Amino acid sequence: MTRMDSRAAAIRSYGLREATVSGSSPSGVHKGEISPELLGLTSLSGAEVLQRLRTSERGLSAAEVERRRAAYGANKVAHEERETLVGQFLRRLRNPLNILLLTLASVSVVMGDREAALIISVMVVLSLSLAIIQERRSSKAAEQLRAMVHTTTAVVRQVDASDQGPAAPSEPREIPIEDLVPGDIVHLSAGDMIPGDLRLIAAKDLFVNQASLTGEALPVEKHSQPEPTPAVDIGGLTNICLMGTTVLSGSATGVIVLTGRRAYFGGLAAAIAGERALTSFDRGINRVAWLMIRFILIMAPLVFLINGLTKGNWVQALLFATAVAVGLTPEMLPMIVTVNLAKGALAMSHRKVIVKRLNAIQNFGAMDILCTDKTGTLTQDRVILQKALDLLGHESHEVLEYAYLNSYYQSGLKNLLDVAVLHHAEAETLVRTAHEYRKLDEVPFDFERRRMSVAIEGGGRRLLICKGAVEEVFAVSRQGRAGAQSFPLDPTHWAQLRSTVDDLNADGFRVIAVAVKELPATQATCDLRDESDLVLLGYIAFLDPPKESAGRAIAALARHGVQVKVLTGDNEIITRKICREVGLPVERVVLGSELESLTPAQIADLAERAHVFAKLSPSQKAAIIVALQRNRHVVGFLGDGINDGPALKSADVGISVDSAVDIAKETADIILLEKSLLVLDEGVIEGRKVFGNVVKYIRMGASSNFGNMFSVIGASAWLPFLPMAPVQVLANNLLYDFSQTAIPTDNVDEEYLARPRRWEIGNIGRYMLFIGPISSIFDYATYLTLYFVFGAKTVAQASLFQTGWFVESLVSQTLIIHIIRTRRLAFIESRASPALLLTSLVVCAVGVWLPYSPFASALGFEALPLLYWPILGVMILVYLGLTHLTKSWFHRRFGLD
């Protein structure tokens, strides 16, 4: 069930690796082409670019922003537009089952049977209306929640001089991406999604992932220098960043050139809007639908030929065959699926969970492994800086001060550790110290080095301050310092430091090393080469305690057949401690370094056996998920960082949170407004309820249709008249369909919810073979009763026969859903929802009433003899009992819940 990145796949299908320069379409949307307007800026300097776009480094004024928004519109792409009611209706009407029904209605009109055409049309409208109403309800709830979540970008705009003075500085501020206009100045850092097609005017160690456009996994370095030679493909755009790509590391400033549909990706989105790779749930539904259609294509002609040959009235035979085809069509299947999924999404919205893709609900139910990061999921996501220690283990204000300066001046992605440093109890004093310095340059963080550095100037000296993972910072340090004492570092110091760090990790602390280096007075910039010969000062220790609810949530997921595996970039000691505290088995912790030399088969074996993985790179997280999928697992992943992007794309269910970086929120199928595993357990249950109720309808329809095949063929060959008039078949089907509309509200047994659920078409087929013929046995018992007991043998008594079979058929198939819906004893050990019980009783009552109603003559019914009713009651009870026994044997025989 590996979920493709359908956007990238669809884009690649348009040949975008070889995209070339061309003109725009008349609408101004560039479909797979690099805009000449964008390319014309590549050879210009930053100042010339700003002049060309009529903007400045201070950004646009509020009035200019409004003028440009009026001219260019909101920065949105096609997939964000809401589908109209008419569009939704037409989309659902194109379903193959609805097309078949409308075709049959047209045949009925041509043959002069307007009543049949009307009934068929009512069935289609009923199915479409219920599906659309429920889907719009869930969409409205999701939109209300989605309004609380914004993907934002840091933009520089001119400050109103009346408020801030004539020379008011322009400071970056976060605004929703859709509010951007061409000419806006944006600041980018690691984790940001590029909000529009832009030209870089400043960049520092900027690496961008363009996989969403090119399919190329390796990051591409970008800079702001002019390019004298125009590029002819995406890979050559070294000073251009395109909408939809993401910043992996580094920082930059750029000016927005194209937004919305005018952007490269916006034009592609308009061309491929709505296209999405089918999930296994979609494919399973389609297989069932086409199975039923093929079944109809065999049955309808057979019924037509038998009745035409035996009765000689080919027009009547065609009308009856048409009605039988309608009766065999699972016309409520699209409605049942949509209403179930929408109902699940609505239930999740009440728990502050945004479901971006309805089918993700069912994938939740099928999920048997949840991979998650540690921070914020198992822990409280409330990191506190507890200790600042020198190399001798003493509290050190110097270490705290340098750590603060590093966090204060770095412009990249400020993670929870930086936030904890900046909010330390001494922050008021430390910020005054920070103002005594000015920033010169920085070397941004990346997941390979696992450290970052800033260069600052103050007090007559220039410093490089490095902060990062202990092992990585120690590796580039030459000396150590504790107070006034300096000493060269050697392996014994590393052993002592490692021991101290291990002790802190064992107590639940995350440890970050701090080092410093004096730079020459003439050096104004820095790069990776400057991260060498550092002086190691000490380390800062953070505490992120485990959540109280984490243990309960993991236990609940385990009860429901979902394993939790932790995939983290943190070290093994602290990971082991946290996992033990929340009840996760930690026989061994697999490190990322161990995976580097393993084959895919070995990784798959290890991924199966281990539960905790530490010090992983982003690609290793994705590799573990893919390995689990190769082992036929359905895998969910919960993550919120830039390093979680590849794993979120690879997972069958990508889950993120409101506070996540842009790329994580964009990639995820589901967004949690509260980061809690308890919510995920509820999502698992909702997914299984959805699947369970869909399978109830399919089992019911498949077994009923299979049984009806024997009943209709036998009666057609045996009787001198039609076993049921066409209009009666359609009325029977319409009433039965109405009784099934309440299935999405039905309860699902606890044992069914206890383990993951997937499509098992083979079991549905076997169910049809064993349960279907039972209904035929009682149909034939009804035939024999009407034929021999009540004398309905000739064409003159056809109405009596047809009425008797109509009532028996309707009542039996309406009540049998209560047997099929559970493996327990129906009505006693497991009760249907009140809505399903009510619709069943109403439909049965209508079926009993119709032969005595004012509509009886129009429908070809007549009053049934009094003796018929007790015979019918006995047959229904025996039918329900025999079906229950067969069902119970079937579940035991094939090990089904």
Which residues form the catalytic set?
Answer: 373
Q: In this structure, are residues 333 and 697 in contact, taking their beta carbons and an 8 Å threshold?
A: yes
CA distances, 601 to each of 589, 607, 619, 650 (Å): 19, 10, 16, 18
List all residues 6 or more positions away from 621 whose beta carbon is below 8 Å from its beta carbon.
371, 567, 613, 637, 639, 643, 644, 646, 647
Q: Return phi, psi of residue 767, to 5°.
A: -60, -45
Neighbour-count burial for 800-810, b at 16+ CB within 10 Å, e otherwise: bbbbbbbbbbb
State the amino acid at position 204 in one-letter form.
K
Q: In this structure, are residues 322 and 103 in contact, taking their beta carbons and an 8 Å threshold?
A: no
Q: How many CB atoms lie within 10 A of CB 860?
A: 18
Please name which of 340, 276, 364, 372 lies closest in space to residue 758, comparing C-alpha atoms: 364
Q: How far apart are CA 49 and CA 493, in angstroms?
A: 53
Q: What is the DSSP letter of 63?
A: H
DSSP-assigned states of every residue in 572-627: HHHHHHHHHHTT---S-EEEHHHHTT--HHHHHHHHHH-SEEES--HHHHHHHHHH
Residue carrying structure tokens 């390019």:
227
Please name which of 476, 460, 478, 490 lies closest in space to residue 530, comparing C-alpha atoms: 476
Q: Return phi, psi of residue 781, to 5°.
A: -65, -35
Q: How many CB atoms lie within 10 A of CB 602?
A: 13
Beta bridge partners of 463: 456, 518
Six-digit token pair at 767? 């169910």
CA distances, 234 to each of 211, 229, 257, 275 (Å): 11, 14, 16, 23
Sign of the four-CA dihedral 102, 103, 108, 112: positive
DSSP-assigned states of every residue in 818-861: HHHT-SS-BTTTB---HHHHHHHHHHHHHHHHGGGSTTHHHHT-
